[in-house]
Structures are given as C-alpha cells and as structure tokens.
Amino acid sequence: MIELLQKVRVIDPVSEIDELFDVLIADGYIREVASHISDISSDTQIRDCQGLVLGPGLVDLYSHSGEPGFEERETLLSFLQAAAAGGFTRVSILPDTSPVIDNPALVALQQKKRGGTRGQGGQGGNFSPLSSPSSLSSPLPLLHLWGAITVDIAGKQMTELADLASAGVVGFTDGKPLENLALVRRVLEYLQPLGKPVAFWPSDRQLTANGVMREGTNALRFGLPPIPTSAETTAIAAMLELVATIGTPVHIMRVSTARSVELIASAKAAGLPITASTTWMHLLLDTKAVKSYHSSLHLDPPLGNPSDMAALRTGVRAGVIDAIAIDHTPYSYEEKVQAFAEAPPGAIGLELALPLLWQYLVETEEFTALELWRALSTNPAECLGEKVSAIVPHQLAELTLFDPQQTWKVERKSLYTLSQNTPWLGQQLKGHVVQIWC
C-alpha cells in the first residue's frame, strides 16, 4: 500500500520539527518527506491531512493487563486494541498478573498469546469513535513485558533475574513498593551486568497506612484518610542514596509530589543515573477533583495538591520528569462500584490520555506540541533502553496520526478496553487517533 499524507502537521521530537509536510508511506516505510510531493504512482492513496497531526508512535512505560487471571477486567487482545486506538505503537505490561510474570515459562506464554493477537495488514489501522470496537482490523502495538523483581511480587525473594533477562523481558519491576532496602541493594548489584532497565515505585507503606488521598486542606474538607507527602519522598531519598552508592541506573515510577520533583532534579544535577515518570492523570487533575468522590479518582499514589500538579507539569517540560506513563489499570464495574476509600485504586487511560493531554496542556499553550509528544514517545522509549526513529525517508513507519478537533463520547460502545473505570465516562472529548503505523 502506498499512502500520501498531504499537508500534515509533522511533530518530530527527534528532529525538533513542528511543520507542515507531505509524507509518502509505502510498504511500511517512510519514502519521502517534503513540502510538496507530486511525483506519485497511480495506485497511491491520497489523503488530505490539513488539521491533522503526525508524530512518532506513542510508547507506554507501564500499564496493567488483566490476562492472565483477571480476564473480566481486560484481555491481552482488548488491551492491545485499546492501546492501538489510543495511538500507542509500543506498550509495556507490568508483571502483577495471576500468575505473576516471575519466570521464563510465563514470559514465553505471554509472548505466545501476543503472537495470536496480531491484527491484519501491518501498515496502518483506522479508528473511529462512531464504529463498533469489535470491527477493529489493524496492526497491534509491540508488546513489552516487565519481569518481576521478586517471586510472586511478595518482596521477599529475588526472581532468577538472569533467566528472565534471557527470556526477553524489557526490564524489571514489581510495580509495587519494595521496602526491604537490603533486597533493593542486592537487586541493584545483581542487575548491573545485565544491562536491563529496573523501575521502582518508592512508597513507604507504613506512612501511607490506610490513607487514600494526599494530605492537605482538601483531604480534611472531604473527610478522607490522608497520605503524607513523606510517604513518597522518604522512599525516593532512600532509593537515591542506594543509586549513588551502587551506580546502577534506576527508573523512578509514579512521581506525584512537588518535593519528589525537587529531589529528582537535585539527583540528576549531581549526575546520578536516574530517569523518572509521572502518570497522565496526575498532570491533569488534583485533589479538588476528589470532591465528586468518583471511585476512579482513587489512585495510588493519590492525586496531588494543586502545587504538586503544577510542579509535575513544570518537571515534565524541564525534563526532570522524563516521561508520561499511562498506568492503565482496568477494573470491572462491580469492583469499582464501592465507596471511594473501599474501591481498588486505578483508572483506565490508553484511549483517553492523548486527547485529554492535548486538549488541556497543548491547546491551552502550557505545553508545546513537541514537549507533550516527546514525553509520550521518544522519552519513554529511551527509559526502556530503546530509540524512536526520526520522521525521515528510509525509516520504518512507526507513526501516529491524530485529529485534535474530532469529538467523540466516552462510552462503552466507543471503547476497546473491557473496563469503564474513568471519571470521563459519559463525557464528550475533543481529539481522536485516526491511524497508526507499526
């Protein structure tokens, strides 16, 4: 298939370009990028892309899949379809399935399942919020698997890290707080020669206790048990001390407080080999939103105070926070229909993140389009030890085509994910992915 995208806005963080171009794509490769392309064959499909945005495929650092063990929440196929519909060409699944991905056999099983969910074609897929999700016929994103650091992510005994690395995991994390610092130190020592990323979620669960909301005036006003900022910052400080001592590069997940951004900025300035990410919802909402007591706003870590959200946004723009993760966490209707404090923490996001981030950060001119796209594509890939190619001739087409103005309603029939735990359910959104190439 040969496609000519005319007058498309190309956003390329690799080349630092945000300009209008014609882009010719043939047989899965970018063939030409120019201000005007007229020399084309008769079988070329021409698309007027005025008003559309073309960027590198989005990359998600970490999210949850229900399969195996919780298929009523999400299957591997529905997860990958949701990711494709959200513009993602690479996704990374956390190991906290049932059973946990803590040995090579389970890695092989997940990879085999991925092989059975490939879409038809392989060059591009079209998505419409008006069509039935079941009609999706498209390539699916590249699937990465995080391997568990500890057996059954119980935090007591290390997995066979070298065996998991050989089995093809993208890196190591439990996706849950690991508070045994002696074990963390040993993990960092063991991982040094393997050259695989390792990600930790620093959180002191004793300080967290039974809290469900960030400590502050809004927590008092809403009558919800608070979580102090120190639950995160003390754990980050301890992690940074270990990295300074041992030297193994570390990725810090789910950064959610202003003080954490300060600690990470200081550590980077001192030359520590760390990267960091926050989640998309922590950039869009703060504790004021919890006034609705919507159970999908119960997150872990919790939404920050307004000063935290502002610091996270500044941190992403400045590169202190390297990447925006989706942390897609599906739950069934029955699991989430509970009181705020009783519902399990987490929300879906693969199909919602790009439209909402664009609408509230780019269209308001708080972020440039390049800054947002970098934090959703090239930077997450680098955190995984990978690279995303520039949008130039002779490169494989790994691209996302996005319409910032297309409106659609978030409802069951417009979502590919099996779950609906989002505070935006029933609302009209502006912005939708048109096509991906991967």
What digits encode the pLDDT tens for the residues 349-358? 999 999 999 9
pLDDT for residue 102: 97
- Closest alpha carbon to 271 in 304, 247, 291: 247
Residue 153 carries which DSSP code?
G
| Fold category of 57-122+132-389 in CATH | TIM Barrel (3.20.20)
Range list of β-strands (E), 117-158: 125-126, 142-147
Instruction: Look up the pTM and report it.
Output: 0.95
Q: Residues 7-29: what's their mean pLDDT?
A: 97
Joined together, the tokens standing for residue 320 give 């202190």
Q: Is 18 a catalytic residue?
A: no
pLDDT for residue 406: 98
> With pLDDT > 70 as the criterion, what percentage of the chain qualifies?
95
C-alpha span between 193 and 248 (Å, rounded): 9
Residue written as token pair 């919020």: 129
pLDDT for residue 180: 95
> With pLDDT > 90 as the criterion, what percentage of the chain qualifies?
92
Contacts of 425 (CB under 8 A, 6+ apart): 296, 410, 411
Query: Which listed residue (12, 60, 286, 327) is catalytic?
Result: 327
Q: How confident is the model at residue 115 (pLDDT cuts 50, 70, 90)?
A: confident
Q: Please say if the pLDDT value at position 134 is more than 80.
A: no
- Closest alpha carbon to 240 in 220, 264, 256, 208: 264
Coil/strand/helix, residue 41: coil
Residue 13 carries which DSSP code?
T
